Amino acid sequence: MSKLLIQNFLCIFFILSSCTQNTNIRKNVASELDNTIHVPEFNADSCYSYIQKQVEFGPRYLSSEGAKNCSRWLIKKLSKIADTLIVQEANVITYDNKRHQIKNIIASFHPQKNNRILLMAHWDTRHIADHDSVRKNKPILGANDGGSGVGMLIEIARNIKIKKPKVGVDIILFDGEDYGQPENSKFPTMQDSWCLGSQYWSKNKHRKNYFAKYGILLDMVGGPNAKFYEEDFSKFYADNILQKVWNIGHDIGYGEFFVFERGAQFLDDHYYVNNITSIPTIDIIEFDPSSKNKFNKHWHTHGDDLNNISKKTLKAIGQTVMHVIYND
């Protein structure tokens, strides 16, 4: 996950809006949850196995052997599940002046429907452990940062194949999200060095005139004791969707994970999807206001392995997203 904290952008807007919006911990927004609708059970064990499979390929940064092998597995896996599968390829130049090919993997269900929901995660991992105390220049496994969102979307896709919701669903696994320029880099500053896959897709969508009602990005959704606050760009671009998801999370018993408090501003894939495509998109992303980096202690370190994954967290977020889809 890229995650450059943007401390000042839109600051005045959110300070003012927070004064009126935070008078109640639970916002006065109906969740639209229909208890008569049967929502499939999200299987956290299955989701975990998909994360484990990704980790077994090793680090999956741009042009790595792990990325090549993992992309083959992801394409094969999703091609058996989705109604249609598109692999979008593009050549990019990263901040270190290296040339790479990115692969966005796009799985669609009910492709003929105009009423659509967009679900996203990034499948690549960080090429350096720039927040670790040792082996800073070595790539990380990215079990949570990359692996958890992908594993969750594969499990959701598996359920959608068995029981189709009323709406069309598109799942995009973005590449090149985490190859952004580190702090104190020796290279000249490169603007928009993060989120390369989502930038490319947003400018070159897989279908002409493609649009979705809204999008949900999943990033670092598997950490132990994780909390998910209201990310600022999500509030600015799609607050009604954010409130809908948070309310449903509370309604089905996962209120300990979804916090009705303002989080921070994160430069993530949803930023470019919102800015370029105008599809209102939120980011479900772990936030820890007490930590130095505002994420979990394993962010961009070698500690982001399978020990950094909680099935309880996977279940909470995965089941909530399932309820959002099937209640739409």
Spatial distance between the Cα atoms of 249 and 323, rounded to a whole number of angstroms: 9
pLDDT of residue 284: 98
Q: Domain residue spans in the chain?
A: 11-19+27-326
Sign of CA dihedral 290, 291, 292, 294: negative
pLDDT in tens, the chain (328 residues): 655 554 444 443 444 444 444 434 455 445 667 778 899 999 999 999 999 999 999 999 999 999 999 999 999 999 999 999 999 999 999 999 999 999 999 999 999 999 999 999 999 999 999 999 999 999 999 999 999 999 999 999 999 999 999 999 999 999 999 999 999 899 999 999 999 999 999 999 999 999 999 999 999 999 999 999 999 999 999 999 999 999 999 999 999 999 999 999 999 999 999 999 999 999 999 999 988 888 888 999 999 999 999 999 999 999 999 999 999 9
For 11-19+27-326, give the CATH class.
alpha beta
pLDDT of residue 142: 98
pLDDT of residue 5: 53
pLDDT of residue 36: 85
Q: Where are the alpha helices (DSSP H) in 140-215?
A: 149-162, 196-203
The DSSP bridge partners found for residue 228 are: 258
The DSSP bridge partners found for residue 100 are: 92
**Residue 128 tokens, joined:** 């350096």
Q: For residue 153, count other CB atoms closer than 10 A to its CB.
A: 27
pLDDT of residue 32: 65
Q: Where are the alpha helices (DSSP H) in 175-231?
A: 196-203
Helix or strand run (H / E) with residue 90: strand 84-93
Spatial distance between the Cα atoms of 160 and 167, rounded to a whole number of angstroms: 11
